[in-house]
Structure 1
């Protein structure tokens, strides 16, 4: 149990250490804050999910609720537990006031030992903000200037343990997770771009961004989701609803049992990137229903996207 009453709570080193110890011992960290506290995006992502509530919001009247779902909580057996199920958050409309954010999810599997991590984050930041990320680090505030080689060396030195790294830049923030496996390294990146401009970006420009990324970076999954009416890279309790996906790309790593010909036969499919990468772009005219249809058609294992839609760890 960690209590914080700051106006903005971040993924600081002490909290990172607590999360590492808890994971090693099979326990959960519960962060307790007043209703006035906002979480930075990296902390919001790092705490998301798990079998028990991880963000507990306390009110002056003594009641508590889940900081993500707003479900009521009660103290039981040494921890806060839900006693009512509010279900997944509703899908957001495209008419949610001014401002907005574009969230980008990139999943990749690197099979070459010379792989460089962080390339996806850099390509996206350059395209959407005009600058590469400013820095990275294992906690907030970040301690390292942005160099993909340094980030890669850090992750290699930590192997076989996974690395969870904070990324910050001009109007953007997010997390990169690097997980070594027996024969490859999985890299998952989630970035939020805080700017009304990208939220109005037409699907063909998002497709061009995915195409640029596919040239430089093996894509497993690329998904762009728009949040209207959301501004600022810190989030109040219950402050994010499910956004609307605008486009998705899938490479061979996401569809090992489906050929390129079969992938291109699905509705809205277009080839992108160099031919040897066999990456396919899908327009998502029907939002999350289109995502589900594409994932089913590709027979793809997409736990990150499933969690995103259901309000799980990595999604709004």
Structure 2
């Protein structure tokens, strides 16, 4: 297991400040680097990593520290700020104090605060004479607590598990080596939407510790057992998957989330700028543009469609996955995947906005937005839905009400592929709205206001009709 300590400073940790922090364990500790020098490790006897220190990140996004860490100590710097993360192994008792001393030394020199605040100090932390630590395996992954042939297990004590750069790297390695990523947390932990998206679907899992059943899947509720080097579902005597009672407990809320999932397709032109469809959707729903983007959390870069386009172009033909975030007063977050295909450049976007009990989701703007996307931004298709869920957009390990669709939209190319006459006449009491000119129309199918689950049946019948010549 690793315990995380984070230094939030108004100034960049320079070389000498980092060196001073690395002396937290005295002269007996070794220093190593990994991840092409992006991670510095304080090592104990035999070279075993005790503390892994990530390269500092400059965070321009307002409210990002509060979003991911909750309440931070008084005196915390406002954005832009430097985020330096130290992960301490629990294999050696002194490691957490080493991480706290490293972070405390940074904030003493540079100003700022640490998280959690009680971890900070500046004392030297010598290792106990009886500490023995085996050297790390050559193929070990940093911050992975258990590695088997099929699964990488990460134990996290954070109250909110974010898709950090190191966690994203572990997920990439797991994908390349055909392993599952299992993140184990206490029952009070939550996930960010980015982490939930990454863990959706087998073989990856969110494993929640539970007093009653031991472990359960925080997204499906399946009771889990460690067997054959992985967490696997437990079956009842009848052969069904057992569901944890903690997962099924009432999680009703008056808060809601509006979800837009849409895809666009563009010709691979040198003048193409990505992210404009997402920006248009964001402005329609919130009245402003995103404030930041990144490939991991914390989301640190100022919003720029030109910069994210350059980044995706540099990675092509590999796909690019990135995140966008809104201002703290209007919770909104999006994931976007950019893929180069034989038909062009495709964007797959999921944008989620949160609303409190006294706030009305702007369902009336969905149709105008659909027309904007269909006529100006190469829309292929879009599903808009509404769900009862937390305004802050975090995911608890509880059964949440599934989203209910409120509209489905086809862009002009999709309508042309299906056939305009066929797409206009579904075998339902449903009249699509034409978007754009007669020569190149899109179609928008209103399905309801997000309160009637029967909308799922209507959507299923509609999609079945559209797929049938």
TM-score normalised according to structure 2 size: 0.58
Provide the rounded CA distance (Å) in 2 between the counterparts of 1:166 and 1:174: 6
> Is structure 2 residue 218 aligned with structure 1 residue 67?
yes
> Is structure 2 residue 282 aligned with structure 1 residue 125?
yes
8 A Cα contact 1:104 1:190, kept in partner: yes
Provide the rounded CA distance (Å) in 2 between the counterparts of 1:199 and 1:275: 34
| 1:78-227 alignment runs, 5 A limit | 78-84=229-235, 85=241, 97-113=253-269, 114-170=271-327, 171-196=331-356, 200-202=361-363, 204-227=364-387
When residues 62 and 242 of structure 1 are mapped into structure 2, their CA distance, relative to the original with a 3 A threshold, is closer
Find the residue that maps to 1:208 and give its secondary structure: helix
Mean alpha-carbon deviation: is it higher for 172-181 or for 256-265? Answer: 256-265
Instruction: State the Cα distance separating 1:242 from its structure 2 match.
Output: 0.8
Provide the rounded CA distance (Å) in 2 between the counterparts of 1:254 and 1:65: 41
Provide the rounded CA distance (Å) in 2 between the counterparts of 1:236 and 1:280: 36
Instruction: State the Cα distance separating 1:2 from its structure 2 match.
Output: 1.1
Find the residue that maps to 2:378 and give its secondary structure: coil
Provide the rounded CA distance (Å) in 1 between the counterparts of 2:167 and 2:437: 42
> Is structure 2 residue 446 aligned with structure 1 residue 283?
yes
Alignment partner for residue 31 of structure 1, among 151, 161, 183?
183
Provide the rounded CA distance (Å) in 1 between the counterparts of 2:397 and 2:308: 32
Larger radius of gyration: 2
Q: Which runs of 5+ in 1 are unaligned?
A: 88-95, 301-316
Provide the rounded CA distance (Å) in 2 between the counterparts of 1:251 and 1:208: 13
Instruction: State the Cα distance separating 1:109 from its structure 2 match.
Output: 2.1
> Is structure 2 residue 154 aligned with structure 1 residue 2?
yes
Instruction: State the Cα distance separating 1:97 from its structure 2 match.
Output: 4.5
Instruction: State the Cα distance separating 1:184 from its structure 2 match.
Output: 1.6
When residues 35 and 11 of structure 1 are mapped into structure 2, their CA distance, relative to the original with a 3 A threshold, is same
When residues 290 and 283 of structure 1 are mapped into structure 2, their CA distance, relative to the original with a 3 A threshold, is same
Instruction: State the Cα distance separating 1:253 from its structure 2 match.
Output: 4.9
Query: Please, what is the CA RMSD of the aligned residues?
Result: 2.2
Instruction: State the Cα distance separating 1:257 from its structure 2 match.
Output: 4.2
Find the residue that maps to 2:288 and give its secondary structure: coil
Instruction: State the Cα distance separating 1:201 from its structure 2 match.
Output: 3.5
When residues 44 and 270 of structure 1 are mapped into structure 2, their CA distance, relative to the original with a 3 A threshold, is same
Provide the rounded CA distance (Å) in 2 between the counterparts of 1:155 and 1:274: 32
Provide the rounded CA distance (Å) in 2 between the counterparts of 1:68 and 1:220: 29
8 A Cα contact 2:164 2:298, kept in partner: yes
When residues 294 and 208 of structure 1 are mapped into structure 2, their CA distance, relative to the original with a 3 A threshold, is same
Q: Which runs of 5+ in 2 are unaligned?
A: 1-152, 236-240, 244-251, 449-453
Provide the rounded CA distance (Å) in 1 between the counterparts of 2:379 and 2:354: 23
When residues 276 and 133 of structure 1 are mapped into structure 2, their CA distance, relative to the original with a 3 A threshold, is farther
Provide the rounded CA distance (Å) in 2 between the counterparts of 1:189 and 1:198: 24
8 A Cα contact 1:99 1:230, kept in partner: yes
Mean alpha-carbon deviation: is it higher for 284-293 or for 102-111? Answer: 284-293
Find the residue that maps to 2:312 and give its secondary structure: helix
Instruction: State the Cα distance separating 1:78 from its structure 2 match.
Output: 0.6
8 A Cα contact 1:258 1:299, kept in partner: yes
8 A Cα contact 2:292 2:303, kept in partner: yes
Mean alpha-carbon deviation: is it higher for 174-183 or for 144-153? Answer: 174-183
Instruction: State the Cα distance separating 1:216 from its structure 2 match.
Output: 2.2
When residues 200 and 136 of structure 1 are mapped into structure 2, their CA distance, relative to the original with a 3 A threshold, is closer
Alignment partner for residue 16 of structure 1, among 168, 177, 184?
168
Q: Which structure would you say has the larger RCO, counting Cα contacts within 8 Å and 6 or more residues apart?
A: 1
Provide the rounded CA distance (Å) in 1 between the counterparts of 2:431 and 2:180: 41
Mean alpha-carbon deviation: is it higher for 18-27 or for 188-197? Answer: 188-197
Provide the rounded CA distance (Å) in 2 between the counterparts of 1:263 and 1:41: 34
Find the residue that maps to 1:220 and give its secondary structure: strand
Provide the rounded CA distance (Å) in 1 between the counterparts of 2:189 and 2:399: 11
